Structure 1
Amino acid sequence: MRHGSEFSTAVRKGRRAGRQTLVIHLNRTGSDPASPARVGFVVSKAVGPAVVRNRVKRQLRHITRERLAALPSGALVVVRANPAAAGSPNLAADFDSALSSALRNSSGGGASGRRPGGPRG
């Protein structure tokens, strides 16, 4: 993804699944269903200095590239790295876990992706 509007759509309208090292926002209805899934990354300065942030982005791109076929076509996906992502050996496992949770939450018609009694909004 390259446009801020795509990031906003995925974050605001998509399903969220978080783990210790990252958060995945998945919006299945983001664009044309015939187009391939598009993925964007958010790695803030809280993760670390530029060298560390770039390393985390490279690791996330590598992990995502291997799992691109599992994403629904036309989906918009935003992967946001948490500060714990820097140097974490569990990044791929957290990615897989969060992605499967986001896919599971977005597939059902009535599933809201929120915990009962949790905050709304």
Structure 2
Amino acid sequence: MLPSENRLRRREDFATAVRRGRRAGRPALVVHLRSGVTDPHVSGEESPPTRAGFVVSKAVGGAVVRTAVKRKLRHLMRERLARLPEGSLVVVRALPPAGDADHAQLARDLDAALERLLGGGAR
């Protein structure tokens, strides 16, 4: 499970990551990354934690399939939070093939997308 402080919840945070961040697409998902965002809602001098959110539409499948995909993605993202810059906003949008993908395929797609975003590759 993804820790509470690392969850993206507010609509404006999702919008910031999607509209102003970089994007990398893979067959089963698209990852949006906005690096080093300062959070105006958090006071103090410490840097904000990296936060991740997930978008899994009905195109992926029924409620049971969507919930399973979200759980897999949360688990995978928890293991990869340390690789991301502090204060980053990450939105993972599942595409329809994610409903049929197994854990290993989602992990490969997520790793490839993050590597592309962190490595500075072309869009």
The interval holding the TM-score normalised by the smaller chain is: 0.7 to 0.9
Residues 55-113 of structure 1 show CA distances to partners (whole Å, capped at 9, x for unaligned) of 000000000011111111000000000000013131100000001111122xxxxx7x4
Q: Which moved more, 1:85-94 or 1:38-47?
A: 85-94
More moved, 28-37 vs 47-56? 28-37
Q: Does the 8 Å contact 1:9/1:30 carry over to 2?
A: no
Out of 30, 33, 36, the residue aligned to residue 49 of structure 2 is 36
Match of 2:112 in 1: 97
The runs of 5 or more residues in structure 1 that have no matched partner are: 106-110, 115-121
What amino acid does structure 2 have at the position aligned with 1:20?
P
Q: Which runs of 4+ in 1 moved over 6 A?
A: none
**Equivalent in the alignment of 1:108:** none
- 2:92 aligns with one of 69, 79, 98: 79
Q: Give the aligned length.
A: 108
RMSD: 1.4
TM-score normalised by structure 2 residue count:
0.83
CA distance in 2, matches of 1:11, 1:43: 14
Give the structure-1-normalised TM-score: 0.84
Distance in 1, matches of 2:38 and 2:101, equals 33
Which residue does the alignment assign to 2:9? 2
- 1:56 maps to 69
C-alpha displacement at 1:29, in angstroms? 3.4
Structure 2 unaligned runs (5+)?
Answer: 1-7, 40-45
Identity level (%): 57
